[in-house]
């Protein structure tokens, strides 16, 4: 007689298999690997004795136990950061023939472009390698430059530049923002489904030629923002208006306002507020200040604009 598995039993079996898979995946992802003795290769094994890293290209291991990130040296004299699965993450800045020291939770890395950036102890790049040189973070600040050259004085080397400036540690900024969020409560505005639908409906009424041109110029502007080192370090979105791509968008005038509003539905696009203020001729339709931050101000501007329709 043919057995039939009930739907409830099938769901239970499926759920059990998924849970077992997730437990196994979490266990593998959280594994630690340990340096083992091998005269021919740099070798790391996990707690089960399985070899995770075995390569002739590494000549020295700076880390005995790797839980999240470890450091090894290759035959080219570079120090490489690897994770607990043996994956190479990035080149690590070298100091005294060893990896850069961790300071304020960060250490320096070298990009493929030869520039300097910063990563944390989990192996996450928190500041992209864009600087010609950078000092370690100390008390939340690092001294960086986009120009200059390396100088030697006896056995010592140093970087000479006429344009140094300070940057703040992202860890410090995150801590400050968390403190602000817990100590201050704001009324967070939200858009209803009907409001979002109305915005999209109004944006859809724009001529296809306008929508195509706007999309292209917006792409160019966003690309310029993320690939301009001055913009990369600026926390003031009004500085984005200095880019030539912004002026091309601005020249399209108030006809692109519905398209801007459609973008502002997503709070992460709050930098378009700069563009909205530039093309909106009626100042009464602009919310210029909001204690909840720029993302909330973006939503408030959408609401005010809709209210005028």
Q: Based on the domain organization, do 115 and 236 belong to the same domain?
A: no
Residue in 80, 12, 99, 9 with CA at minimum distance from that of residue 42? 80
Q: Based on the domain organization, do 151 and 254 belong to the same domain?
A: no
Say if 273 falls within a structural domain: yes
Say if 207 falls within a structural domain: yes
Ranges in the chain, pLDDT < 50? 1-5, 7-9, 11-12, 14-15, 18-19, 21-28, 173-186
Residue in 212, 264, 272 with CA at minimum distance from that of residue 240? 272
The total of structural domains in the chain comes to 2
Say if 6 falls within a structural domain: no
Q: pLDDT tens, 243-294? A: 998 999 999 999 999 999 999 998 778 889 999 999 999 999 999 876 667 8
181 sits in the region (left: phi over 0; alpha: psi -120 to 50; else beta) called alpha
- The conformation of residue 237, written as its DSSP 8-state character, comes to G
pLDDT at 215: 86
Domain boundary among 172, 202, 236: 172
Measured distance between the N- and C-terminal CA atoms of the chain, rounded to whole angstroms: 70
Q: Based on the domain organization, do 164 and 219 belong to the same domain?
A: no
Q: Which domain holds residue 106?
A: 33-172
Residue in 122, 127, 97 with CA at minimum distance from that of residue 110? 127
Say if 116 falls within a structural domain: yes
Say if 177 falls within a structural domain: no
Q: Based on the domain organization, do 41 and 146 belong to the same domain?
A: yes
37 three-class SS: coil
Q: Based on the domain organization, do 102 and 135 belong to the same domain?
A: yes
Say if 188 falls within a structural domain: no
Domain boundary among 108, 142, 172: 172
Q: How far apart are CA 114 and CA 130, in angstroms?
A: 9
Q: Based on the domain organization, do 296 and 211 belong to the same domain?
A: yes
Say if 126 falls within a structural domain: yes
Q: Based on the domain organization, do 152 and 274 belong to the same domain?
A: no
Q: pLDDT tens, 99-137? A: 999 998 899 999 988 999 999 888 888 888 888 999 999
pTM, two decimal places? 0.51
Q: How far apart are CA 298 and CA 309, in angstroms?
A: 17
Q: Based on the domain organization, do 162 and 230 belong to the same domain?
A: no
């Amino acid at each position: 007689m043919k057995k039939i598995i009930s739907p409830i039993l099938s769901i239970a079996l499926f759920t059990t298999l998924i849970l077992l898979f997730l437990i196994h995946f979490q266990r593998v992802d959280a594994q630690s690997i340990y340096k083992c003795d091998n005269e021919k290769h740099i070798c790391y094994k996990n707690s089960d004795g399985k070899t995770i890293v075995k390569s002739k290209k590494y000549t020295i291991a700076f880390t005995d136990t790797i839980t999240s990130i470890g450091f090894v040296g290759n035959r080219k004299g570079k120090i490489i950061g690897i994770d607990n699965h043996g994956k190479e993450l990035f080149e690590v800045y070298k100091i005294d023939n060893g990896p850069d020291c961790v300071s304020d939770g960060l250490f320096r890395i070298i990009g493929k472009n030869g520039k300097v950036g910063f990563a944390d102890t989990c192996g996450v790049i928190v500041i992209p390698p864009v600087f010609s040189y950078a000092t370690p973070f100390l008390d939340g600040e690092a001294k960086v430059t986009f120009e200059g050259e390396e100088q030697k004085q006896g056995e010592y080397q140093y970087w000479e530049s006429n344009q140094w400036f300070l940057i703040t540690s992202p860890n410090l900024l995150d801590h400050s923002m968390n403190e602000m969020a817990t100590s201050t409560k704001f009324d967070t505005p939200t858009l209803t489904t009907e409001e979002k639908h109305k915005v999209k409906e109004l944006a859809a009424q724009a001529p296809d030629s306008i929508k195509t041109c706007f999309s292209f110029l917006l792409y160019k502007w966003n690309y310029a923002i993320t690939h301009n080192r001055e913009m990369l370090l600026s926390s003031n979105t009004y500085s984005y208006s200095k880019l030539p791509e912004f002026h091309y968008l601005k020249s399209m005038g108030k006809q692109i306002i519905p398209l801007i509003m459609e973008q502002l539905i997503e709070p992460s696009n709050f930098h378009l507020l700069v563009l909205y203020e530039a093309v909106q001729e009626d100042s009464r339709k602009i919310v210029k200040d909001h204690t909840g931050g720029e993302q909330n101000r973006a939503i408030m501007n959408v609401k005010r604009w809709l209210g005028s329709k």
